[in-house]
Amino acid sequence: MITSQYDDDGHSDLPNYTDFDSLLQVFETFSARHQDKVFIRYQIQPNSQEYRTLTYGQVNTIATYLADTWNCTILQNDDMGHIQRKQQKPCLIILNDDPVQSILTFFATLKLNLIYFPLATHDSDTAITYFLEKTSPRYLIISKTMRSKAQRCIPPGSTIQIKIWDEQLNIEKIIATNNVAVSVQLQPRSGDMNMNMNMNMNKLDGGAAVGITTKNDPSSTVAYMHTSGSTSLLPKLVEWSTQLCMYSTCEILLKSIQNSNVRMESSDVLLIPILLMTGPDIDFILATMMMGSSIVAFHNNTPRPFDLLAASKIFHATLILASPYTLEGLAEYLMQKQDNDTVVANFPSAPNNTTKKFDLDHKISVFEQFKCCITFGAALRTSIGCLLQSKGLNVQTLYGATEIDNLCISDVSKENQEHWNCLRPSGALTQYSSFEPYQDGINKYNKNTENEDVVLYQLIIHNDHPVLPKSVRNRPNGDFATGDLFVHHQEARNNHHEPCFCWKLVGRIDDTFKTSLGEKVIPKPMEMEICNEEIIRNCILVGENREYTAVLVELDLDKAQNYTESERTLRVYEAVRRANSYALYYAIVLVPDFVYILPFDKQLPTTRKKQVSRKKAIAMFKEEIEQLYNHHSSRNTTSI
């Protein structure tokens, strides 16, 4: 039952995570409330400045139409009998690189009362095949660009069918007939499942279209997500409930933002450069709906930095949700002296049909109009974050775990320029968690603390957390050990300029290893420092059970080609020497002996978060690693 009240500016009490029994109820409530307001602005073609819009009401209409279109084929009578016997909902797997299609498919899946399972288009074929075998879906909903990938991934002999999104629905055609009432007759299912419904799209009655007609349980599974697989060969499947999504959105995300001086309002326009409707995407879509705000999505999730700035200028964007990968491209673009492209506002919602080039001053002026830029998914290089901060973009950090969604965020106020990558947990986390000193966790981690030890802490989510899934509890008492390692900073200041604690993520336990001398290596701080060198794209530390630590370095081809081979080598060596400031004595990388620079035609394998997949990298470059150590050993033997 809904108990909270909201106004169009979001100034009333925020919703509670228990206010809704299902995500469909959230969608229906706010799509009706904001029916005629613009919800989505979407780019028509790549590198284009032509955008179209969808209102909240139109999104609901199209989602209902799509659910009815798929209803007749996605769930057959024999499926329903199987579901009745197993007492579980089937899932619908989505592989789509179109952001608008992804959003509409998400809402249609809610209406179909199916479990929503989005796969990233850059997930490996092996991972996709694994999930298809594990979840046994009847259908794989894809965009037409994903046809060949989907066909490769379906296991031999499987009955999984592929549905091409573009062949099912024409958005423009549905919008053109939007004023015509569409009656959707759904066929009754077997047993006592009386599915007769009559939905009038214009009235936005909504409701679940098909599925098991039981009372909505906010703790039941509504979506599957999966881990990135950065520390294992295969990612892990995780169940998300309505309560988990709502807790993350309302208690962690919205309340933290609304308690700052950059609070969300109905007039806000949110840029989401890569929108796959996974993880934080869902939370920000929910937050946008609750505020009555709007989003801007880009064709096939491949916007140029220019597209981001142009859309920001034209639509007066105020918030941006971006991965480190996107922000690195934006930072590089920022430093270009002049852009040859122009902003041509040639569509109805653009003001004054202006034309503008983006020189540095114009880029900075666009940055300054943003209330906040929230980065997520992986750690942003310190050099990139500080550069963007110095140019007026209020970069802040969102932290979460796939197992339990968002957990905390940095102080998003514009005054927080120094500690943008330090997290400030709210009561929604602190009352159900603790930072536990990590075993063997005394580590001289930071080069600014050469004369003192820094304690590493692991974040533990307690068993009384209201939305902690049972399937992720990994301690005998029911707690969830995140595996993430932090150090705390006391010098941070809150909104009242009072000292307070905040926490900085420095790595994962899964990434740590010990040398043969027993020295523990926490690779992430060292790797991030190495990657602060502009010609380095990625790197990885290795050396488990070895006497010495080594590093594999992947160069950024475009930037590295501006230097001679000798200059490139010297820059890499200097970056590694700087990173040694973050290492215990026996964990330092000997330069040049244990530095391997990959040739230009080789790349380190990465996850969907653009993070190096450690186990895959070690397996892929096994021979090169062995040669590195053997060469050092033979040199020492010869010298003796």
Per domain, the residue ranges of the chain are 55-241, 394-511, 513-639
User: 94 Cβ partners below 8 Å, 6+ apart?
Assistant: 102, 105, 106, 109, 116, 117, 118, 119, 140, 141, 142, 277
Assigned CATH for 394-511: 2.30.38
Domains 394-511 and 513-639 share a fold: no
Give first-to-last CA distance, the chain, whole Å. 79
- The residue type found at 588 is I
What Cα–Cα distance (Å) separates residue 206 from each residue in 90, 121, 151, 202, 223?
21, 30, 34, 10, 19
- What's the pLDDT score for residue 429? 96
DSSP lists the bridge partners of residue 513 as 521
Which mean pLDDT values do the consecutive 10-residue runs of the chain (640 residues) have?
A: 41 80 96 96 89 94 88 61 55 92 94 93 88 89 91 89 74 65 31 31 39 68 85 81 97 91 93 89 96 94 90 94 92 71 47 53 85 93 92 95 95 92 94 88 46 77 97 96 88 57 88 85 90 94 93 95 96 96 78 96 86 90 93 59
CA angle 14, 16, 20 (to 5 degrees): 120
> What gap in Å lies between CA 581 and CA 584, rounded to an integer?
8
Domain at 513-639, CATH from 3.40.50.410, 3.40.630.30, 3.30.300.30, 3.90.1150.10: 3.30.300.30
> What gap in Å lies between CA 397 and CA 544, rounded to an integer?
31
- What's the pLDDT score for residue 227? 85
> What gap in Å lies between CA 353 and CA 48, rounded to an integer?
15
Q: Is the peptide bond before 523 cis (omega within 30 degrees of 0)?
A: no
DSSP lists the bridge partners of residue 265 as none
- What's the pLDDT score for residue 215? 60
Q: Are 364 and 373 a contacting pair, CB within 8 Å?
A: no
- Residue labelled with tokens 């009372």: 215
Q: Are 115 and 222 a contacting pair, CB within 8 Å?
A: yes
- What's the pLDDT score for residue 599? 96
User: 411 Cβ partners below 8 Å, 6+ apart?
Assistant: 260, 396, 419, 424, 492, 494, 495, 502
Assigned CATH for 55-241: 3.40.50.980
| Alpha helix positions (H), 523-564 | 523-531, 557-560
Sheet bearing 319-322, strands edge to edge: 51-55, 38-43, 294-297, 269-271, 319-322, 372-375, 395-401, 405-409
- The residue type found at 555 is L
- The residue type found at 549 is T
- What's the pLDDT score for residue 635? 61
